[in-house]
């Protein structure tokens, strides 16, 4: 891969010498009528650079041209679906897409190359011919809450710029059902009770003497959207080239159904049932009613039916004399046939169809002894994997056991199924997927999706590494030559993209708007001599454009509410960049482990920067481990603690003992740039005396 200015990496590109230079006051843009998404993306990028383009009446004379391959014009070789050609000459930048999505992706590549330079807009001369390696490049996410719909649309536009084309949108009880309003009422009630349960939703799911799994109470923020709101989301996704595949969980994770109708529960005595009885016709009467409403709103070509982590089989009187495979196959066949009659393909998680033993422990569809024997439930979960031979082979399997079983995709292919790798991120990390070229080869491997499993908000998605995993996975799914040896270069490219990603999703990153910097001496507040960097070798990275002046006198504070001496500022600034690291033994806690998943957990809060203005007012910058600071001995992307979404690796090298050293930079956007900043203090929280924060340098962003 090497260092490359377009991400995801294109299949073929050739850079020339020289640049296209344009007068920012005279930039005309022309776009084909089918290329609305490409035009909006390009206009947004130009505006971010402080340029307001004019609209050209025709391609002739336009500085930027966005169009489709002209009718009847044959490209040799033919351009695949979603492909594009980008040509930047000394006169114009022209994007030609095979279709609207291809034009959008070509515009995204062009936007990454746009730069302001010496008062002009500059683009390097280049020719690119590009197309996707995999047809399905997706993200799995919950229905957003009403307040997060604007953010959700920003997220979709950002995903489209990364060449994602599918959204697996978990619906559950999160959309109004006209035929069954009791489902929405029960969903809201269940979410309230789960969040109020001592220890939160995870404690609730473990409160009974039998296994069940995630409650998904973050979906629609514990409520539901109107159908008109859902239709608007689907239409917006389509406008940026993203196909929405609704997921309506069936069999397992069916709290939204069974809480409303406990008479269909497989465990009728369960106060919080998650599984319906597959032998009860009323289960399907209800489910198919809900399916009909989902199909009416989404009009999808596929429906994801869930089915992961199904642990409850053969319990009720109707089911106890049937095998697990019989119950699972009967359930899948009913649902598949109902969808097929309506021209809709079935997608499902594949774990209960797999026969897997890892380290002597049964997984997937093998029989398992209950984990809750100590709570009085001596129960064996029934085998279900034999059902794989008795269900239709045109179902698309979402395989999330790929990390446990290195041959999982071959197993499903032998059985006649197409596969999409599922659950990239959270459970398993895409950056550590080994042998990707070999395992992703073959037409039966349709692609992969990044799962989120958290509240739909920038903080939750960033904190839980979902945004990081989306960035990494984009290159794996688009670039056909990606291999394990490209991991380091991919991570370097991702680190360099993080700041623009954060701004696309709602943050303001001052260094993206200014190249005027002023280092601040720390000598007056310095209380620590940084010896680890003496004699160290390394380099400043391209991920951080802010220059820092690092002296041996650093500022260190330890846990126990220690407060540093004031760092004098005495001037205005649009932002401040901090170069720092921390020492601690914590591991970041994901939001689904929070008692309240909507609120940041103080477990990861190490300290704060206290910024005081000369008028006496103040602002604070939380320092959260794994969010905007990490330990110095971790490399970016190495684990969940070093994949910080709000910090970039500013300097990477080795100390005199040849141990790795990474210094982390994070930025604060000044909400009151008209005010003069008096000083900064570093405040360390917590009660572990071994924890400390070390501030190595501060730079003001003044433009």
10-residue stretch averages of pLDDT, the chain, 703 residues long: 80 94 93 93 91 93 90 67 96 95 96 89 95 97 97 97 97 98 98 92 83 89 98 97 97 97 94 96 98 98 96 92 97 98 98 91 85 60 96 97 89 97 69 84 94 94 94 95 90 94 95 93 89 87 95 88 92 98 90 73 90 98 96 90 95 93 97 97 89 96 92
Which helix (H) or strand (E) covers residue 183, if one does? helix 181-196
What CA–CA distance (Å, rounded) separates 203 from 222? 17
Long-range contacts of 53-61 (CB under 8 A, 24+ apart): 53/27, 53/28, 53/29, 54/26, 54/27, 54/28, 54/29, 55/28, 55/29, 55/30, 56/28, 56/29, 56/30, 57/30, 58/30, 59/30, 59/94, 61/28
Given the structure tokens 């490049």, which residue do they identify?
137
What CA–CA distance (Å, rounded) separates 161 from 651? 28
Tell me the CA end-to-end span of the chain in Å, nearest whole number: 35
Query: In the CATH hierarchy, which top-level class contains the domain 510-701?
Result: mainly beta
- pLDDT computed for residue 232 by the predictor: 98
**Which of 513, 502, 507 shows the shortest CA–CA distance to 546?**
513
Take residue 516 and report the two structure tokens written for it. 């005027």
CB neighbourhood size of 181 (10 A)? 12
**How is residue 44 annotated by DSSP?**
H
Q: Across 572-687, where does the E strand assignment appear?
A: 575-583, 605-613, 618-624, 648-654, 660-669, 677-684
What CA–CA distance (Å, rounded) separates 656 from 636? 20
What CA–CA distance (Å, rounded) separates 458 from 121? 31
CB neighbours of 160 closer than 8 A, spacing ≥ 6? 37, 41, 104, 108, 240, 241, 242
CB neighbours of 75 closer than 8 A, spacing ≥ 6? 69, 85
What CA–CA distance (Å, rounded) separates 255 from 136? 29
| pLDDT tens, position by position, 260-313 | 999 999 998 899 999 999 999 999 999 999 999 999 999 999 999 999 999 889
| Chain-centre distance for alpha carbon 82 | 22
- pLDDT computed for residue 355 by the predictor: 94
8 A C-beta contact, residue 565 and residue 524 = yes
Assign 285 to helix, strand or coil: helix
CB neighbourhood size of 528 (10 A)? 17
Please give the CATH superfamily to which domain 136-504 belongs: Glycosidases (3.20.20.80)
8 A C-beta contact, residue 539 and residue 653 = yes
What CA–CA distance (Å, rounded) separates 514 from 508? 12
Take residue 336 and report the two structure tokens written for it. 């598949």
- pLDDT computed for residue 248 by the predictor: 98
8 A C-beta contact, residue 414 and residue 392 = no
Which helix (H) or strand (E) covers residue 545, if one does? none
What CA–CA distance (Å, rounded) separates 265 from 278? 9
Take residue 286 and report the two structure tokens written for it. 């209800």
8 A C-beta contact, residue 571 and residue 693 = no
CA dihedral 60, 65, 67, 70 (to 10 degrees): 40
| pLDDT tens, position by position, 60-116 | 989 999 999 864 455 667 889 999 999 999 999 999 999 999 999 999 999 999 988
Domain boundaries, given as residue ranges, for the chain: 12-130, 136-504, 510-701
Assign 190 to helix, strand or coil: helix
- pLDDT computed for residue 206 by the predictor: 82
**Which of 470, 508, 472 shows the shortest CA–CA distance to 159?**
470
8 A C-beta contact, residue 305 and residue 346 = yes
- pLDDT computed for residue 72 by the predictor: 40
| Chain-centre distance for alpha carbon 55 | 34
What CA–CA distance (Å, rounded) separates 613 from 623? 20
Instruction: Give the orientation angle of helix 36-48 with respect to helix 149-161, to 10 degrees.
Output: 100
What CA–CA distance (Å, rounded) separates 610 from 566? 9
Take residue 116 and report the two structure tokens written for it. 């302001």
CATH number of 12-130: 3.30.379.10
What CA–CA distance (Å, rounded) separates 136 from 447? 5
Task: Please give the model's pTM, rounded to 2 decimal places.
Answer: 0.95
What secondary structure, in 3-state letters, does 89-142 show?
Answer: CCCCEEEEECCHHHHHHHHHHHHHHCEEECCEEEEEEEEEEECCCCCEEEEEEE
């Amino acid at each position: 891969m090497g260092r490359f200015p377009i991400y995801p990496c294109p299949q073929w590109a050739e850079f020339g010498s020289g640049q296209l230079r344009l007068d920012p006051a005279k930039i005309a843009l022309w776009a084909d009528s089918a290329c609305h998404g490409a035009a909006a993306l390009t206009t947004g990028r130009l505006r971010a650079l402080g340029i307001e383009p004019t609209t050209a009446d025709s391609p002739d004379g336009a500085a930027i041209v966005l169009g489709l391959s002209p009718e009847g014009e044959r490209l040799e070789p033919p351009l695949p679906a979603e492909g594009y050609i980008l040509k930047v000459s000394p006169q114009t930048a022209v994007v030609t897409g095979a279709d609207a999505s291809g034009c959008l992706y070509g515009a995204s590549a062009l936007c990454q190359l746009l730069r302001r330079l010496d008062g002009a807009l500059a683009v390097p001369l280049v020719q690119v011919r590009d197309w996707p390696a995999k047809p399905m490049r997706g993200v799995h996410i919950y229905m957003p809450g009403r307040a997060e719909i604007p953010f959700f649309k920003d997220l979709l536009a950002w995903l489209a710029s990364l060449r994602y084309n599918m959204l697996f949108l978990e619906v559950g009880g999160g959309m109004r059902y006209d035929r069954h309003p009791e489902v929405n009422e029960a969903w809201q009630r269940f979410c309230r009770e789960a969040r109020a349960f001592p220890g939160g939703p995870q404690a609730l799911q473990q409160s009974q003497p039998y296994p069940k799994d995630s409650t998904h109470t973050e979906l629609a923020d514990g409520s539901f959207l109107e159908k008109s709101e859902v239709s608007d989301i689907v239409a917006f996704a389509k406008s940026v080239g993203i196909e929405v595949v609704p997921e309506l969980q069936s069999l397992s994770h069916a709290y939204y159904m069974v809480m409303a109708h406990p008479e269909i529960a497989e465990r009728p005595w369960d106060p919080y049932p998650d599984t319906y009885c597959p032998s009860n016709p009323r289960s399907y009467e209800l489910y198919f009613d809900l399916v009909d409403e989902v199909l009416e709103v989404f009009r999808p070509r596929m429906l994801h039916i869930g089915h992961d982590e199904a642990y409850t089989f053969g319990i009720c009187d109707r089911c106890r004399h049937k095998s697990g495979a019989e119950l699972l196959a009967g359930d899948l066949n009913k649902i598949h046939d109902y969808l097929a009659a309506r021209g809709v393909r079935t997608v499902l998680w594949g774990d209960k169809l797999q026969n897997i033993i890892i380290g002597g422990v049964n997984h997937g569809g093998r029989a398992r002894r209950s984990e809750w024997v100590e709570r009085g439930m001596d129960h064996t979960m029934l085998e279900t994997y034999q059902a794989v031979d008795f269900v239709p082979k045109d179902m698309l399997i979402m395989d999330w056991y790929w990390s446990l079983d290195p041959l999982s995709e071959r197993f499903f292919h032998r059985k006649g199924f197409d596969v999409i790798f599922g659950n990239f991120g959270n459970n398993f990390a895409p950056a550590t997927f080994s042998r990707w070229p070999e395992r992703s080869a073959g037409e039966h491997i349709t692609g992969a999706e990044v799962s989120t499993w958290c509240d739909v908000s920038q903080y939750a998605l960033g904190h839980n590494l979902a945004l990081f995993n989306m960035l990494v996975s984009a290159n794996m799914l688009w670039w056909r030559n990606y291999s394990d040896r490209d991991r380091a270069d991919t991570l370097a490219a991702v680190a360099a993209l993080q700041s623009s990603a954060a701004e696309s999703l709602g943050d303001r990153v001052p260094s993206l708007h200014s190249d005027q910097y002023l280092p601040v001496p720390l000598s007056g507040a310095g209380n620590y001599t940084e010896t680890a960097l003496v004699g160290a070798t390394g380099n400043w990275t391209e991920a951080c454009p802010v220059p820092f002046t690092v002296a041996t006198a650093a500022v260190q504070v330890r846990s126990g509410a220690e407060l540093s001496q004031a760092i004098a500022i005495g001037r205005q600034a649009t932002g401040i960049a901090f170069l720092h690291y921390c020492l601690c033994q914590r591991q970041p806690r994901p939001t689904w482990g929070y008692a309240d998943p909507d609120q940041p957990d103080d477990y990861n809060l190490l300290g704060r920067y206290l910024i005081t203005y000369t008028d006496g007012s103040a602002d604070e910058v939380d320092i959260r481990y794994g969010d905007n600071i990490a330990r110095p001995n971790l490399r970016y992307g190495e684990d969940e603690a070093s994949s910080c979404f709000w910090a970039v690796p500013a300097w990477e090298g080795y100390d005199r003992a040849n141990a790795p050293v990474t210094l982390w930079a994070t930025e604060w956007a000044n909400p009151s740039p008209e005010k003069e900043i008096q000083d900064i203090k570093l405040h360390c929280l917590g009660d572990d005396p071994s924890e400390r924060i070390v501030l190595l340098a501060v730079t003001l962003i003044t433009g």
